[in-house]
């Protein structure tokens, strides 16, 4: 059963999101023209008020022209400044009552500024993609932009017929009229606003694996010129899916898609049911295979099991980092112990000023958080032993599927599988800044024939 665990503003981004209500469904109808980078949209947002009546509330939306706003069919008073659409309904919404907001907007979408550069809607040379983590979603649609507010989505995108539209979720319809095509996707699983993925480009679709054998449908969408390299680089993704389902439990969504753009990206883009890679991540020699494993693992840890707020980001990135090490170990590469040792050596040479359980906004994407997060999982594995550790992981993914979690919830969960208290382990790894000693090695998961050794660097 999914558990929702956040009731206040996000401490790292207090201007984003409104905890006074929650959304349970977005229906977005978008019209996008790549040449002039012109977006026009309508959003129908179904929400529920919290414990107090709503005389006013806010959505996050970047600097677009607002055409119309309605609340339960009636025009409210609203202001739109500084990325906030403040709405005062004609009649206050009763505590606990359902209500519907309709917003029409248009303009030229562009990334919103952040300490990490532009986030959200990114215009490409021939198309567009969305890269929203952590606060880029308002760059293209109005939303309650907080990771704890998870909702279902239906997204309709109309664009010139030369382009393909890929979104996280199930493609319901694709309808062509004259020179445009409308793509309609449904994502029924609860989804955080920053995890709503979208890519518009000229792609060739390929099937990965065989879903006819009861597997998860997996598709690639790539420029035709990159097909030979892609075919080798992503050939083992179905084996990753098989392994992660064995170790983490059933894949939490209906399908999984990967997109490769013609342009280079600094890092792959994480979204729910969808990952976007740059052309630089496709080299024909599996040079980015660890990133393929990392993004796939996020479907369990980060997307299905989501953060209550951004203080707990290590629960996303540490788990995905450790999944890289597990894939390396299982596929005949370096063991998790060897990779943990390399990570520990690296961290021991770097500043000791990161508190993993609450790194602060400045350090939330620091590479040390990823490495130390992976080491936490390895330390827990060494303490529990493999049998209890992987039962713990499967239980974590199952119990919190579709919900939100905190570091404290993880500590409580792990304690159920431990034969002795792990308070000291968690205190040193999560709540103190000094790097603890390298965990003692546990037994490695043996490699097995379906996964031949990789040429990729798994560090």
Strands 404-405 and 306-307, by their bridges, are parallel
Report the C-alpha gap between 48 and 98 in whole angstroms: 4
Lowest-confidence range among 137-146, 163-172, 208-217, 241-250? 208-217
Contact 396, 350 (CB under 8 A): no
State yes or no: is 417 an active-site residue.
no
Distance of CA 297 to the CA centre of its chain: 10
For residue 82, pLDDT over 70 is answered with yes
Residue that is written with structure tokens 């199930």 in the block: 170
Q: Helix 367-384 and helix 336-348: axis angle, to 10°? A: 130
Q: Which of 46, 158, 140, 44 is nearest to 93 (CA)?
A: 46
Q: Which of 196, 201, 200, 156 is nearest to 174 (CA)?
A: 156
Instruction: Dump pLDDT digits (tens) for 354-386.
Output: 999 999 999 999 999 999 999 999 999 999 999
Binding residue per annotation — 294? Answer: yes
Contact 411, 376 (CB under 8 A): no
**Domain 306-431 listed as CATH 1.10.390.10:** yes
**β-pair partners for 68:** 104
Residue 79 phi/psi, 5° resolution? -130, 150
Size of the chain in residues: 459
Strands 38-49 and 21-33, by their bridges, are antiparallel
Tokens of 53: 């009546």
**Domain 1-200 listed as CATH 3.40.50.261:** no
Binding residue per annotation — 27? Answer: no
Q: Which of 232, 159, 148 is nearest to 199 (CA)?
A: 159
Binding residue per annotation — 312? Answer: no
Distance of CA 293 to the CA centre of its chain: 14
Contact 273, 198 (CB under 8 A): no
Distance spanning both ends of the chain, measured CA to CA: 35
Sign of the torsion angle spanned by Cα atoms 175, 179, 180, 181: positive
Contact 71, 96 (CB under 8 A): no
Q: How confident is the model at residue 8 (pLDDT cuts 50, 70, 90)?
A: confident
Q: CATH 2.60.40.1730 residue ranges in the chain?
A: 1-200
Select which of 295, 322, 324, 329 is catalytic.
Answer: 295
Tokens of 13: 């981004």
The answer for residues whose C-beta is within 8 angstroms of residue 44's C-beta and 6 or more apart is 26, 27, 100, 101, 102
State yes or no: is 370 an active-site residue.
yes
pLDDT of residue 453: 44
Tokens of 143: 């939303």
Q: CATH 1.10.390.10 residue ranges in the chain?
A: 306-431
115: buried, middle or exposed (CB in 10 Å: 19+, 13-18, 0-12)?
exposed
Instruction: Dump pLDDT digits (tens) for 95-125.
Output: 999 999 999 999 999 999 999 999 999 999 9
Report the C-alpha gap between 381 and 158 in whole angstroms: 48
Contact 427, 312 (CB under 8 A): no
Select which of 21, 370, 417, 451 is catalytic.
Answer: 370
The answer for residues whose C-beta is within 8 angstroms of residue 316's C-beta and 6 or more apart is 298, 301, 302, 307
Instruction: Dump pLDDT digits (tens) for 177-205.
Output: 999 999 999 999 999 999 999 999 999 99
Instruction: Dump pLDDT digits (tens) for 148-165.
Output: 999 999 999 999 999 999
Report the C-alpha gap between 347 and 363 in whole angstroms: 14
The answer for residues whose C-beta is within 8 angstroms of residue 212's C-beta and 6 or more apart is none
Radius of gyration of the chain (CA): 22
Q: Is the model's pTM score more than 0.85?
A: yes
């Amino acid at each position: 059963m999914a558990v929702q665990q956040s009731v206040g503003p996000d401490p790292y981004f207090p201007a984003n999101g409104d905890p006074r209500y929650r959304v349970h469904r977005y229906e977005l109808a978008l019209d996008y023209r790549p040449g002039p980078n012109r977006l026009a949209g309508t959003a129908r947002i179904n929400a529920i008020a919290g414990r107090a009546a709503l005389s006013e509330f806010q959505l996050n939306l970047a600097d677009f022209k607002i055409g119309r706003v309605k609340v339960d069919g009636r025009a409210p008073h609203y202001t739109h400044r500084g990325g906030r659409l403040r709405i005062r309904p004609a009649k206050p919404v009763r505590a606990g009552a359902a209500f519907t907001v309709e917003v029409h907007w248009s303009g030229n979408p562009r990334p919103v500024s952040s300490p990490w550069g532009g986030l959200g809607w990114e215009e490409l040379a021939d198309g567009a993609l969305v890269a929203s983590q952590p606060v880029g979603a308002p760059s293209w649609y109005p939303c309650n932009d907080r990771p704890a507010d998870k909702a279902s989505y239906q997204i309709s995108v109309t664009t010139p017929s030369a382009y393909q539209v890929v979104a996280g979720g199930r493609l319901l319809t694709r309808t062509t009229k004259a020179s445009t095509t409308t793509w309609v996707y449904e994502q029924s699983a609860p989804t955080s606003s920053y995890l709503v993925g979208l890519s518009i480009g000229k792609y060739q679709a390929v099937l990965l694996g065989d879903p006819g054998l009861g597997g998860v449908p997996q598709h690639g969408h790539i420029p035709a010129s990159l097909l030979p390299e892609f075919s080798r680089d992503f050939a083992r993704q179905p084996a990753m899916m098989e392994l992660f389902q064995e170790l983490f439990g059933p894949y939490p969504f209906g399908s999984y898609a990967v997109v490769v753009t013609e342009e280079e990206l600094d890092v792959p883009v994480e979204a729910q049911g969808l990952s976007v890679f740059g052309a630089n991540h496709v080299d024909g020699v599996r040079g980015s295979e660890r990133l393929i494993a990392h993004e796939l693992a996020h479907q369990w840890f980060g997307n299905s099991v989501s953060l209550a707020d951004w203080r707990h980001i290590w629960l996303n990135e540490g788990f995905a980092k450790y999944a890289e090490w597990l894939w390396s170990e299982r596929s005949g590469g370096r063991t998790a112990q060897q990779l943990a040792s390399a990570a520990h050596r690296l961290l021991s040479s770097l500043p000791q000023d990161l508190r993993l359980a609450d790194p602060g906004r400045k350090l939330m994407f620091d590479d040390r958080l990823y490495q130390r997060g992976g080491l936490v999982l390895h330390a827990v594995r060494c303490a529990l032993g493999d049998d209890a550790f992987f039962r713990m992981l499967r239980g974590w993914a199952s119990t919190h599927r579709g919900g939100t979690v905190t570091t404290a919830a993880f500590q409580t969960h792990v304690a159920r599988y431990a034969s002795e208290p792990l308070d000291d382990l968690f205190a040193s790894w999560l709540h103190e800044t000094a790097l603890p000693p390298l965990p003692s090695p546990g037994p490695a998961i043996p490699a097995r024939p379906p996964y031949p050794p990789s040429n990729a660097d798994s560090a």
